Structures are given as structure tokens and as C-alpha cells.
Amino acid sequence: MTAQSASPALRTLVAALLGLASCSSPTGQPLGGPAPLSYDPAPQPPAILRDVAMVNDDNEWNAPFIPGLRTTMDGRVALKVQGGPSTLSFYLFAPEALDEPILTGPIGARLLASTTPVEVVLPPAAVPGLLRVGHHSICDPTEEFPVPGERPNPYPCGTDLANDCYDITVISSLSQPSFTLQIWGTPVTVEVASPKTAQANIVRVELGDSVAGAVLASSPELAEVAVTVDGRLLTGRLGGANRYWTNPNTGEQILRPYDLIYSVLPDSADPCDVTGWTDFHPISHAPFDPNMARYGLAAYPFRDTEGELIGDGEDMGGSYPWVDREGANVFMTAVPGVITEQSQEDYPRRCVVEGCERFEYDSDFDRGFLVAGLWTHGKLVHLDARINNQDWSVGMRPDAHYLVDLYKDDAGDPVAVRFGSGRGYGSGAPGHPGNENILDSLQAMLNHRPAARTVTPRDVVWIMNTGVATDEVVFDDFLDPRAYIVSNMQATITQLRENRGQGDATTGVPIHWNGQQRVIGVNLGISNQRAYTLDHSVRLDVHIQNAATSLAFPVPAYGVVDAGTGRSEPVALGGFYGRGFWLSGDNQIRYATPAQPEPIADDWYVGLFVDPRTTEGATRALLSFPDGSSVRLVDRQTLQYVFDERVQHEVALPPHPSGFLHLAWHVRRDHRELTLLVDGFPFDRFEAPRAFFGVDEGELFLGRGPDRRSGARDAGVRGWVDDFKVLAHAVDPEVACNHAGGTLVELSGEALAAQAALYPAWAHAEVAAAAARPADGRYACFHDYSADNAATLANIPAGTTSLRNAIIFPEGPLRAGSPRPDSSDNAFCLSCHSAAGIGSMGLGALEHRPGILLEDDRRRQPHQPPRRVFGNIPAGWIPAGDGPGSPAEAMRAPAEGVLIDAWVLPH
């Protein structure tokens, strides 16, 4: 047995600090040290106490904000989804006004040219007997590649053709008193002056004659409408009333409270033809509908967050949907709860401003955004980001906010968190779109502008926006076909099912597995009107989500927290990012590891964030695997590898006075070589005499392990944990650093030199080899755990050079005027694309096609902006960067558009 550890200088330093003689213990040393102390199980305040109320007492945003609006396909002209009682409200996004990245820039709605919309009256709003005007969306069939008969937007117009005009169709829902809705399509021309500049503004909105579309019975309105880039797929929500639906494949008629729906135009209809959307189906039917084959949304049958199949025609169990512009994924909400129904004993609360109790809230499930589709292999994933800032309905306006005692400090005193912006009672914050729960994303539409790009060091990232929050959402781990456990510490969400004479049927009522018991009321036929009352006398198990979506092998359905021993955080706190889970020292998250049809013999990766809060020097369990191997911590100082309660190897960790540290392992060579990574960089290597970290059929524990052989109860780590991942494949050094919230850099000066010196020479040499850099160079995983987004791709320290592309895309870069490089053997790309992948997730996305230039290739990277640009193009619109930039003289694009790749990419 051999071990490679940190440098001798570091060992000497840490030994002096900790009173340890060396970094390794004799093989087979019994577990020892002082007895673990008992603590109050209440969670301590997280290291990062981020704002989750979103607005302050002056009705101002507390963070950067982009309102959730529906836009044209260039991401510029935007429409409020829930407008006024008779008006359409138009905004303009002006990315040219951005000088800093959105997420780390100044607070407020900086992307809006003006926070005051241009409002026009919608003609159908004057129809006699109308109950109300519902939601709206933009239909703009401006695609990346030309299609016959297209009229792409924008086009030059106005005096001297100096302005840009957009001819779009606004899709609207108008409700009638008879519980019936009608869809309308209204042609609209929007004229923009000073287009594609920081001074751009809307100068004209002109409406044509509205066209009546389908009438839908038993439906109050068509809400959260969205239309894909081809102008053919319409999606939205009808309200969860019982409806009959006939399966066109089988002829079977079923009655369900299905809510999320779609309709596809027939091939004979023109894009955006509102009269062509006549056949409406529950979204769960999409994977079985041959007319949906072109959309990634239909690639896989849907599953809930615990992996249970959602059958053809069943309800999805959510609300507030949004389908992306390519029709690849559906997003929706599904978390119920109201702040005023919570127990004062469990969640002591008081008003920020006296009188907040006067605000009343309807029962709903309008928070907790999930995603399912091509990027999740059909499985619903409960997202963990600031777009899920609150689990409970609590008003947005400041006088509706509460202070809730969520935590206790070292002295046992309560620490309050301000709750707000969960649902309703909107504030006057500039740019607020009028509905807190509308979701949208600009995807990559504005990525020609460096300041509009995402800054999180991952590959598939979108900036996503609601009516109260903006954040970056990472999809990489959901795309991974060989992920085994991906726990972001959100609770799972399933759906109440009832037997209607033909087996279990969905009811549209979500079940949030946060440990609370709800008494479900009588089924009155409308899912979101069904009572689900909290029973404070009962505690249930908490189900911690496993967001691994793999179909290649069975994965744990979720992690179990025994009833009453832990909680799912009700706000986006406790984690390195978003929610974390508090390990009390006496609780655990327990994953049932299923039997495998075939052994998974590949290399593995294991990692997590942990913020230990003990100082007594006792040995505590962090991870315990089904094969009897485990990882233990002595406070924040020492890590132990243990088998059958005997220490096999011990590592003194580099100093971490407080806050999170990230621990991870490369598990190689039949699980006998364990490379420990600390904060994303290799730190120690242990050649074990037996296999470690095996996930045979059994149980895997995070926190307190199984009871000891002597019968004594084990002690677990006390502190916060987040982002627990177990992947059935190796990861490269950059991705390992990404999992730790950082990105790899090469050092050329003193920046990060002290950090780099903590790690052994062999670790630097391995990073150098992966990046094809000098073996004697110095390298570091640039990270900062002191605050959200403190270390990003946009603030790499001066005196360092990014290694990201050198490692994950060595065959690159993408070059205009050349074919895409061959990525068939790129291990990073193969962590998402596979032989079993469907559509763009298959291996065809990676192959070399020498006869097709990049700008003509229909395969696009997730971060690439739309391929064509139209209308007026200002002088020097795109500055030189990786590419030469756009022309120094102003120009007008021809009708077929200009290809943008030649300006933004090298040649």
C-alpha cells in the first residue's frame, strides 16, 4: 500500500497546527479519538446568507434582474405575458447597454431599454360579454436556417430605412363567463429606432385585424402561452379541471384534470396561423405523438422526480409551464404551500412591517420550477437556483414580507431570514412583469455580446428569469447519461394518484416530499382548487432528490431522511449555491442502491460540498458505502478512509477556517486508487489494498453511518452539505474543478500562488499533461466560496490564464470558414452525448463532416448565438474578440440575413 500526499512543507505546517505527527495512520488502526459531543439539532446559519426576498423596503431589486417575458427570436422585442385588462405591454431588451455580466453586474433590470412598457389596446378585448383577457405570447418564425416563404425579423423600415421593424403575431387567450376560452391571433408591427444600440427604443406598435382561433370548453384560460421558433408548436396551461381526452393512437377516452397542453400546426398551415391550432393534447402525450418527433420534448416518456413513469395522457402535476424556443424541454412549477399555514413552533415568524397578516393567499403550487425533456432523458428535475427562492406563497411587496427564525447561532439565539416574493401582491420594482411566477429564458440569443453570456464554469448554462428572480441554471449533470447520484438538496416532487376503476390515475395534485403531512381534500374536479391542509402533528420522511437521469442503469430513486430528523430548506439557503442540507451529527441521508443487471466497472467520480461545524476532535462519518468502506472527518482538519471500522489511510487537510470546502475523489483501477481532490484540485493519492466506494445493492449514507458492529450508534458530520454527486465515469481536471465551483488556470505571477503551493508537484504535472502545458508550471482551481458567483469565468485573476478550452475542447476552437472539428473521441463531449442519445444528444453531433463549413452546419454549440442576424447593423456592432468583429461601417443585412459566425469566431 502506498500513498502520495501533499508537499512535505504543507505536512509540517498542518502537523504543527493540528498537533499531528504525520499525515497517515498505520494500516488497520482502530477508530479512536474523543467521544463525539451532542448538539442542538437546529441548523446553524449558513456560510452564505443570500437574499431570498428579492426586493427591499424601497421596492427596489436586491440583485440583477431580467423580467420573464416572451420575446422575438432575436431576444429584443418582449411582451408581458400577463398584461392589463385590455392591453398588450411591449418592452425592448438592449444588450448593447451591458458592460458587465448580467449575474455579477449592478442590481436592477439593466437589460431593459426602458422599464416603462409601450401599451396598446387589444381589439378582441372589446368583445361583448368577455370575462377577462388572459395571457399572451409572441409568435415569430425567424429560424436559424432559411425556410421557403419565410419573412424573418427584423427588417429595415422607417425614414431612410434606419429603423428595424418586426412583423409578429401575438397569441392571446380571452376568457368567457361560461368557463370557456377562445384563442386569438393578432398581427403586430413593432418599430425600433436606433436598433441594436444602447439607445434603442420602441417608437411604434401597430396592430392589424385579430383572427379568432379555437374555442376550448371547460377551460378558464390558456395561460403561460409559448410558441417555438418554427411558429408551429404552441404550449400552455388550461387550468386543472377534469377533461375528457381521446388518445389518437388508441382511441381510448380518459378523464383527467390535465393542465399542461400542446398543439402542433398541420403541415398545410402557415407558421403562426391561429386557426390551425385545433387539436390539443396533454404534454405527457408528446413522446407518443408522431407529429412531435421533430421536437426534443418528445424524445423520452416523462418520469417524475423519483423516476416513476408519467403515462400517455396523464397529467404532469404542475403549473406555470414554459417550453423553450426549440421545443426541447418543458419547465413547470409544482411546490405547494403558504407561509401563513406554517407552524409557529417550527417556523417562528413576525411581520417586517406591521400588518402583513392581512394578506391572504390561495392554495396553489406555483413555486418550485422543474424541467423535463431532451436534456433530462424525460425525467423531471427540481431545479436549485434563485428562480426557486421560496417554497411558500408570501407576497412580493415589502409590507407583505415576514422575518422567519430559521437558524440558531452558537449561543442558541435565533437567526431570522426575510421571506418575500413567493406569490402575489406584486411590488413596484422597476421592470416587474406583473406575475411573480412567469418563467422564460433568453437562452443563447444575446451571446454575440460578451456581457450577456453566462459566467458559471459549466457548458450548458442558461440565464433564466421569473417575475422576481434571475439566475444561471446549469444542465450538464442532467444531460449526463452515466450519472448515478446528483443531489442538489431539493426535495422530490411526485403526484397524488387515485384509483378511478382502471388503476392509479394522476390527479394533478403534487406531493412535495419535504417532511410535511398534508390532508388532501375531496376531488371537486379542479386540481388547484383541491384542499391540501397541513397536519402539524405528523412528520414524514424527507425525500432528497436524485437528479441523475440515466437510463443506462438503475439509480437510487432518492435519498431518505427519517421523519423528524432533518428538513428540506424552504428557501434557497444552506448550500454552496441554492439549498443545502443540515446534518445534525445524528441524522443522515440514506440512498437505497439498486442491484445492477451488469457490474459498473468503469472509473467513478464522487464529490460534495461540506461545511463542518464541530471542533471537539471527534471522528465523524461523512460517507458510508454499501461495500463497508467509508470516509470520515475529524472536524475540518483530517480525512480518514475506513473499512470495517479500521482506518486504512489518513490525510491532513489544508487549512479551511470556516465555510464550505469541496471534497471529491477520482476512483480508478478497480476502485483501488483513490485520488482525493480538495477544492477541485488533486491533493492526495491512496493505493488501497481492497476496493473502496463500491455501490453494490444496499444502502449509501451521507452523514451518520450504519450502526457499528459493536452495536454503538454512529456519529455523523455536523454541518451543511450540498451538491452530492456520484458519477459512473471519470472526469477531466477542468470538470472536476467545475464540480467544485471553479475553473482551472495557469499561473504566471503571484496571483493564487499561495493556493497552488498547497498541492503536490505530481498534481500540477497531471493538470499540465491534461492541458498540454509545461510539466513544471503552476496551476490552480480558481474558486471562492465566500459568496455567490465570487469566482466565475468572467473574473479570472490577472496574472493567470484559463485552461478550460485546452482541456475540454483540445481539438478546437470553432473556426468560421472551416468544418467543425472532430469531437468523436472527446471524453468531455461523451459525458453528454452517447450512442443511445436521441437527436442532438447522439454521437452524430460530434462527428467530423469535412464537406460542411461550420457556419452552414446545423449542429450548434449550446453557447452559440443565433446563426443569422437581420435588419440594420450599426458600425462596429460586434467588437473584435475571438473573431474579427462586425464591419466598421454601418450596413443593412440582406433579406436572407448575415451569418454572424464570421464576426464572433476566429478564422
- Cα(830)–Cα(807) distance, rounded to whole angstroms? 14
Q: Which three cell numbers stand for residue 139?
A: 409568435
Q: In this structure, is residue 899 part of a structural domain?
A: no
- Cα(244)–Cα(238) distance, rounded to whole angstroms? 13
Give the domain-ending residue among 486, 518, 551: 486
Q: In this structure, is residue 47 part of a structural domain?
A: no
On whether both 355 and 376 belong to a single domain, the answer is yes
Number of separate domains in the chain: 3
Q: DSSP H helical segments within 699-747, as ranges?
A: 733-739
321, 261 in Cβ contact below 8 A? Answer: no
Residue 558 sits in a domain of what CATH number? 2.60.120
Q: How confident is the model at residue 31 (pLDDT cuts 50, 70, 90)?
A: confident
175, 131 in Cβ contact below 8 A? Answer: yes
Could you report the per-residue pLDDT of 815-831, keeping only the tens digit for each?
999 999 999 999 999 99
Residue 303: the pLDDT is 98
On whether both 664 and 703 belong to a single domain, the answer is yes
Q: In this structure, is residue 645 part of a structural domain?
A: yes
On whether both 443 and 536 belong to a single domain, the answer is no
Three-state DSSP at 16 gives helix
Could you report the per-residue pLDDT of 535-585, keeping only the tens digit for each?
999 999 999 999 999 999 999 999 999 999 999 999 999 999 999 999 999
- Taking all residues of the chain, what is their mean pLDDT, rounded to a whole number? 94
Three-state DSSP at 349 gives strand
* Other beta carbons less than 10 A from residue 17's beta carbon: 11
**What does DSSP assign to residue 683?**
E
Instruction: Give CB contacts under 8 A, 24+ apart, made by 772-776.
Output: 772/806, 772/810, 773/746, 773/803, 773/806
Q: How confident is the model at residue 602 (pLDDT cuts 50, 70, 90)?
A: confident
On whether both 507 and 471 belong to a single domain, the answer is no
Which residues face 386 on adjacent strands? none
Average pLDDT over residues 654-660: 95
Could you report the per-residue pLDDT of 664-674, keeping only the tens digit for each?
999 999 999 99
User: What residues contact 237, with CB distance under 8 A and at least 6 apart?
Assistant: 222, 223, 224, 259, 260, 261, 319, 320, 321
- Cα(587)–Cα(704) distance, rounded to whole angstroms? 6
85-102 burial, b at 16+ Cβ within 10 Å, e below that, comes to ebbbbbbbbbbbbbeebb
Q: Which three cell numbers stand for residue 182?
A: 377562445
Helix/strand number for the chain, H first, E second: 7, 53
Q: How confident is the model at residue 500 (pLDDT cuts 50, 70, 90)?
A: low
Establish whether the linkage from the previous residue to 655 is cis, with ω within 30° of 0.
no
755, 10 in Cβ contact below 8 A? Answer: no
Establish whether the linkage from the previous residue to 154 is cis, with ω within 30° of 0.
yes
CA distances for 488 relative to 37, 283, 383, 636, angstroms: 28, 26, 8, 22
On whether both 518 and 589 belong to a single domain, the answer is yes
Is 522 a residue whose pLDDT tops 90?
no
* 367-373 and 329-335 strand pairing: antiparallel
Residue 127: the pLDDT is 82
On whether both 340 and 405 belong to a single domain, the answer is yes
Range of the domain at 108: 70-486
Average pLDDT over residues 596-610: 94
On whether both 204 and 266 belong to a single domain, the answer is yes
Q: In this structure, is residue 136 part of a structural domain?
A: yes
402, 339 in Cβ contact below 8 A? Answer: yes
Q: How confident is the model at residue 599 (pLDDT cuts 50, 70, 90)?
A: confident
Instruction: Give CB contacts under 8 A, 24+ apart, made by 871-874.
Output: 871/153, 871/154, 871/155, 871/156, 871/164, 871/165, 871/195, 871/196, 872/154, 872/156, 872/161, 872/162, 872/163, 872/164, 872/195, 872/196, 873/196, 873/898, 874/195, 874/196, 874/197
Residue 501: the pLDDT is 63
**What does DSSP assign to residue 735?**
H
Closest CA to 297 of 266, 253, 248, 332: 332
Q: Which three cell numbers stand for residue 278?
A: 385545433
- Cα(881)–Cα(17) distance, rounded to whole angstroms? 48
101, 35 in Cβ contact below 8 A? Answer: no
Q: In this structure, is residue 336 part of a structural domain?
A: yes
Is 336 a residue whose pLDDT tops 70?
yes
Residue 354, Cβ density class (10 Å: 0-12 exposed, 13-18 middle, ≥19 buried): exposed
Residue 88: the pLDDT is 96
Q: In this structure, is residue 266 part of a structural domain?
A: yes
- Cα(65)–Cα(46) distance, rounded to whole angstroms? 24
Q: In this structure, is residue 897 part of a structural domain?
A: no
Could you report the per-residue pLDDT of 779-795, keeping only the tens digit for each?
999 999 999 999 999 99
- Cα(117)–Cα(59) distance, rounded to whole angstroms? 18
On whether both 564 and 605 belong to a single domain, the answer is yes
Give the domain-ending residue among 787, 808, 829: 808
Could you report the per-residue pLDDT of 292-315, keeping only the tens digit for each?
999 999 999 999 999 999 999 999
- Cα(512)–Cα(542) distance, rounded to whole angstroms? 9
Q: Which sign does the torsion angle of CA 573, 576, 580, 586 carry? A: negative
Give the domain-ending residue among 427, 455, 486: 486
- Cα(208)–Cα(485) distance, rounded to whole angstroms? 53
Length of the chain: 907
On whether both 477 and 495 belong to a single domain, the answer is no
Average pLDDT over residues 246-254: 97
The enclosing H or E element of 770 equals helix 761-771
- Cα(202)–Cα(225) distance, rounded to whole angstroms? 23
On whether both 411 and 536 belong to a single domain, the answer is no
Is 22 a residue whose pLDDT tops 60?
no
On whether both 601 and 707 belong to a single domain, the answer is yes
**What does DSSP assign to residue 75?**
S
Higher pLDDT, 38 or 286: 286
Closest CA to 225 of 268, 183, 162, 176: 183
Strand residues in 177-259 grouped as ranges (E):
180-193, 201-207, 211-216, 223-227, 233-237, 243-246, 253-256
On whether both 476 and 375 belong to a single domain, the answer is yes
CA contacts within 13 A on the Cβ side of 245: 25
Q: How confident is the model at residue 24 (pLDDT cuts 50, 70, 90)?
A: very low
Is 192 a residue whose pLDDT tops 80?
yes
Share in percent of the chain as helix, strand, coil (round to 5): 10, 35, 55
Residue 81, Cβ density class (10 Å: 0-12 exposed, 13-18 middle, ≥19 buried): buried
Side chain identity at residue 554, one-letter code: P
Average pLDDT over residues 190-219: 97
Q: In this structure, is residue 595 part of a structural domain?
A: yes
Higher pLDDT, 713 or 690: 690
